[in-house]
Amino acid sequence: MFLSGVAMTTAELCSLNSFTFSQLGVDAAIIAALPATMTQPTKVQQLAIPAILTQQDVLALAQTGSGKTLAFGLPVLQAIYQANFQIKNKRSDADTALDESAVRALIVVPTRELAAQVTEALLLIAQALEIEIATLCGGVDIEKQLAALAAKPQLIVATPGRLLELLKQGELSCDGLQLQQLSHLVLDEADRLLEMGFWPDIQQLLEFIPLERQTLLFSATLPSGLESLLSQLLKKQAQRITAHTTNAVVAEIAETLYLVNKGSKAKALEALLVKHQWPQALVFISARDDVEAFAKKLNKAGINAAALHGKQTQEVRNQTLAAFKAGKIAVLVATDLLARGIHLEGLPVVINLDLPQHAPVYVHRCGRTGRAGLTGQAISLVCHADASALDAIRALTQRALPLLALEGFAVTDTVATGTSKRAPRDKQANRRTMAKTGMSQFKSTKGKK
């Protein structure tokens, strides 16, 4: 399905670290709009940008914090910028069928937080090029988003649910000008968007998008079970780019796993935070119902903590994340809403209060630290109940990930054997007891007929 040889040759050249954005083919107007600190493209940018500029479909796998957003964002913006130049300088209506008010690129992401971040990363460059961007996601007043669409954006960043809602309402239509000229479809965190939770939405979305387009898939992980879905999205001669070891945590992140009792995790977390006094820490927990409880426990212990999860309003989520990024919150306890793509500047440590059941999420969680070449720590508190999740993570990452003892937290829990601790007869008695609804039902029936 994928081209062979081309990526390898490019990778060998990129290992010399000799390319500049100009040598990759990036337009001078875009280079001028880049932050002054961005002088050297990252590896994934060196590999992906030339392939995208030559109109190839691309599947790019690169570790978290490696610059994926600009790897697809710069060439997509350049395509729009150059098309606008053609429109403004056309000699007659016959010279081009392009419409400057049409949507020409769509970036689909799995979460609202990532949608906001992708928009932020591209906005200054887009403004310099006079390209309008709209962000479409749930939890935001739909009237505001309709107003954004009225401004005729040429680039849309969206989550699948809200985008489909607007498509079905006819605000964007394949029969109209909006999507008729769509030339670029980007799936960021592609593996998450290919999973069963999102895959039906993506299939519906494809019905509104022209077949003749360039498709770009970017992710840090790609489980082998999802490979078969790629043929439904990419052209047969798509280019596969692997900028780093697939499904791996970056080398700059030190991974430490402690074996503790399940009931000791809250105290173990508190002890680690007090001992190390990190300026900030991001704590992940899978069950969103537990997030608030753990944040409250930390606050009672005198640790400045806050919770972030999907049951909160979007306004609360935005405010909490902004406060954490600004350093006003020391410890953020969050669900996997923040596991993918979110950039947290200089975050020193990520702590997994439990291991995710989906192994790639572990890689993404750890990737919130150690970004852009900085070092970081990823600490996991593991109990016997996490054994199957740990096995899956070890298999995915091909790492031993040994379990260490945490000082002051001796493990007394035993490994579950699957054998019932209660006789079947006792279980039946317990069910009869639970079924009683009043005290009179607990009275003896002895002697009654």
The candidate with the shortest Cα–Cα distance to 358, out of 333, 331, 332, 335, is 335
- Per-residue pLDDT at 417: 60
Q: What is the per-residue pLDDT for 433? A: 44
Which pLDDT score, from 0 to 100, does residue 298 have? 95
What contacts 137, CB < 8 A, 6 or more positions away?
112, 115, 116, 158, 159, 162
The residue with tokens 């291991």 is 355
Structure confidence at residue 347 (pLDDT): 94
Q: Which residues, 6 or more positions from 420, have their beta carbon under 8 angstroms from its beta carbon?
A: 427
Q: How many residues does the chain have?
A: 449
What is the C-alpha separation between 75 and 179, in angstroms, rounded? 19
Q: Express each pLDDT in 196-216 by its tens digit.
A: 688 899 999 998 899 999 999
Asked if 244 and 61 touch (Cβ cutoff 8 Å), the reply is: yes
Extended strands (E) in 294-410: 305-308, 331-334, 349-352, 376-382, 403-405
The strands making up 305-308's β-sheet, listed across from edge to edge, are 305-308, 331-334, 281-284, 349-352, 376-382, 253-259, 403-405
pLDDT of residue 280: 96
State residue 13's pLDDT score: 41
Helix axes 112-128, 68-88, angle to 10 degrees: 40
Q: Which residue has the tokens 């440590």?
A: 349
Q: Based on the number of CB atoms within 10 Å of its own CB, is 299 exposed (0-12), middle (13-18) or buried (19 or more)?
A: middle
At residue 169, the pLDDT reads 81
Task: Give yes or no for a contact between 260 and 382, defined as CB atoms under 8 angstroms apart.
Answer: yes
What is the predicted pLDDT for the residue at 100? 72
Give the sign of the dihedral formed by CA 421, CA 425, CA 428, CA 434.
negative
Structure confidence at residue 94 (pLDDT): 44
CA distance 355 to 380: 7
Bridge partner list, 306:
332
pLDDT of residue 415: 82
Amino acid residing at 244: H
What pLDDT, in 10s, does the model give residues 293-319?
999 999 999 999 999 998 999 899 999
Side-chain half-sphere CA neighbours of 213 within 13 A:
25
Model pLDDT, residue 173: 59
Q: How far is residue 117 from each of residues 12, 31, 325, 338, measured CA to CA in Å?
A: 31, 20, 12, 11
**Which portions of the chain are predicted below pLDDT 70?**
1-18, 91-98, 171-178, 196, 416-449
Q: Where does 233-366 have alpha helices with state H?
A: 265-276, 288-300, 314-325, 359-366
pLDDT at 177 (0 to 100) = 37
The per-residue pLDDT for 267 is: 95
What domains does the chain contain, in order, with CATH numbers? 2-242 (3.40.50.300), 253-405 (3.40.50.300)
Whole-number pLDDT of residue 423: 52
- Largest CA-CA distance found in the chain, in angstroms, rounded: 105
